[in-house]
Structure 1
Amino acid sequence: MAGPYTGIDMAHYDKEERRNQQSSGYSVNADSGDSGGICAYLLTGISILLIICTFPFSLLFCIKVVQEYERAVIFRLGRLLLGGAKGPGIFFIVPCIDTYCKIDLRTVSFDVPPQEILSKDSVTVAVDAVVYYRISNATISVTNVEDYGRSTRLLAATTLRNVLGTKNLSEILSERESISHVMQASLDEGTDPWGVKVERVEIKDVRLPIQLQRAMAAEAEASREARAKLIAAEGEQKASRALREASEVLSDSPAALQLRYLQTLNSIAAEKNSTIVFPIPLELFKGFSKRMKE
C-alpha cells in the first residue's frame, strides 16, 4: 500500500518506470502463491497466523515506510511481487517470507578516476570526468545487475578511454562539450538494461605531460613574438608614409616649416627647460665642403 504522490517528478518517474518495464520486455513474476507449491502455501499460512496471533505487536514488523525519493522492491519467497516497486509512503510486508530492498531515486554524482589515455596523434594525457545519473527503473536496477553503482562507474571509466582514444589532442582540448554528449549517449545506452539513466557527463580536467606543456608554451611564445614583430613593422610602415606626406606638405610651403619650428620651441619651453635647440640647415655647410675639397 503506497501513499499519495506529492510531487510532479515522482509521478513522472512512475510513468517512466512502467513504460521502461514494457519496452524492455522485463516480465514481472506473479505473487509467490501462484506457482510456489505446497511449501509456499504452508509458509504463507504460518506467517499470516503468526501475524494474527501477535497482533498488534506484529504491525511493528509488517508496516514499512519509504520516503518520497525512495522505492521498495519486495521479494516473497525469492520471487518478485506483482506490481513492481512500492512507494512512496506506507506498504506492508509479511515477516519471514518477504524481503525488500530500498532504492534511492535521487541523482547521484561521482568522479571518474584520472585515466591515462593515448590520443589519436600518439600523445599521452590524463583526463578525469564527472558523471551524474539516477535510477529510472527500481525493479530492473535490483534484478538485472548486482551493483548498479559500481557497474556504472566501471563503464564510465571504460567509455572515457574509448571515446578519447579516437580524438586528437587539439580536439580533446577544444571539443569538450561534444565529447561529453558522445559519452553521455554511449553510457545511457549501456546502462539502460540496468535501469540507470545517465543525465550528464562533464570533462573536468585534461593534464598534459610537463615536456609537452613546455613545448606548447614555447610555440605560443614564438607565435606571439612573430605577431608582435609584424605589428611593429606595420607601424613603422605607416609612420614612414605619414612622414613622407608631411615632408611633401612642408616642401610646398616654406612658411609651414617655420611655423613647425616655432611650435617645437613652444613645446620645449612649456616643460621649463633651459636648453633650446636651433636647427641649422644643411645647405649652410655646402660652401664649407666645397672649399675643403679645393
Structure 2
Amino acid sequence: MTIITPIAIAIILVIITSIRQINQYEKGVKFTFGKFTAVMEPGWRIVWPVIQTYQKVDVRIKAVDVPDQNAITRDNVSVKVNAVIYYKVSDAPKSVIEVEGRPDPRDRRQGDGCVGIEGK
C-alpha cells in the first residue's frame, strides 16, 4: 500500500498536467516525437508530456490594414490607395508546418500587390 500510493499520485499528476484546452476559435496541431500526428479540434484534449507537443492556431478571420500607397494612373493622375487584407487560416497543419513566421501588420511589402492595378 505504501508503494502504490506515490505511484498512483504520480500517474494522476501526469494525467492532470497533460490535459489541454483548445478554444472554439482555435485548432491544435499535435506532434509526436516531432512528427505531425493529428489536428486537435476544440475541447479538452490530452497531450502526453515529453512525448507530444502541440501548437494552437487561430482560425478566425483577421484584418490587416495596408499602409497608404501612392500611385499614378495611365493619364498621370496621382492617387492614394488604401487597402485592407482579410485572411483566414483554412489548413491548420499546413500553416504550422509550411509557413514560417506570422504576418506583421506594419510590413510595407503587403501593399506591393497594388502596383499596376490603378487605371485598368
Q: TM-score, normalised by structure 1?
A: 0.35
Q: 2:94 aligns with which of 140, 143, 155?
A: 140
Which structure has the larger Rg over C-alpha atoms?
1
- Structure 2 gaps of 5+ residues are 1-6
Contact 1:141 1:148 in 2 (8 A): no
Structure 1 residues 154 and 52: alpha-carbon distance in aligned structure 2, compared to 1, 3 A threshold: farther
Percentage identity across paired residues of the two chains: 30
Alignment-derived partner of residue 109 in structure 1: 63
- Amino acid in structure 2 at the alignment position of 1:114: D
- Structure 1 gaps of 5+ residues are 1-50, 169-294
In structure 1, C-alpha distance between the alignment counterparts of 2:68 and 2:76, rounded to whole Å: 18
Deviation at 1:70, TM superposition (A): 0.7
Structure 1 residues 94 and 156: alpha-carbon distance in aligned structure 2, compared to 1, 3 A threshold: same
- Amino acid in structure 2 at the alignment position of 1:157: G
In structure 1, C-alpha distance between the alignment counterparts of 2:8 and 2:92, rounded to whole Å: 32
- Amino acid in structure 1 at the alignment position of 2:45: F
For residues 189-204 of structure 1, what are the structure 2 equivalents within 5 Å? none
In structure 1, C-alpha distance between the alignment counterparts of 2:72 and 2:43, rounded to whole Å: 50
Q: Alignment partner of 1:113: what SS?
A: strand
Compute the RMSD of aligned alpha carbons. Answer: 2.6
2:83 aligned with 1:124: no
Structure 1 residues 68 and 117: alpha-carbon distance in aligned structure 2, compared to 1, 3 A threshold: same
Alignment-derived partner of residue 157 in structure 1: 111
Q: Alignment partner of 1:65: what SS?
A: strand
Alignment-derived partner of residue 51 in structure 2: 97
Structure with the higher helix share, 1 or 2: 1
Contact 1:109 1:132 in 2 (8 A): yes
Q: Higher relative contact order by CA 8 Å / sep ≥ 6: 1 or 2?
A: 2
2:21 aligned with 1:65: yes
In structure 2, C-alpha distance between the alignment counterparts of 1:107 and 1:161, rounded to whole Å: 25
For residues 166-181 of structure 1, what are the structure 2 equivalents within 5 Å? 167=119
Alignment-derived partner of residue 74 in structure 1: 30
Residue by residue over 1:159-203, the C-alpha shift from the partner in whole angstroms, topping out at 9 and shown as x without a partner, is 222423xx26xxxxxxxxxxxxxxxxxxxxxxxxxxxxxxxxxxx
Contact 1:68 1:88 in 2 (8 A): yes
Q: For this pair of structures, how many residues does the alignment match? A: 113
Structure 1 residues 53 and 163: alpha-carbon distance in aligned structure 2, compared to 1, 3 A threshold: farther
- Amino acid in structure 1 at the alignment position of 2:76: S
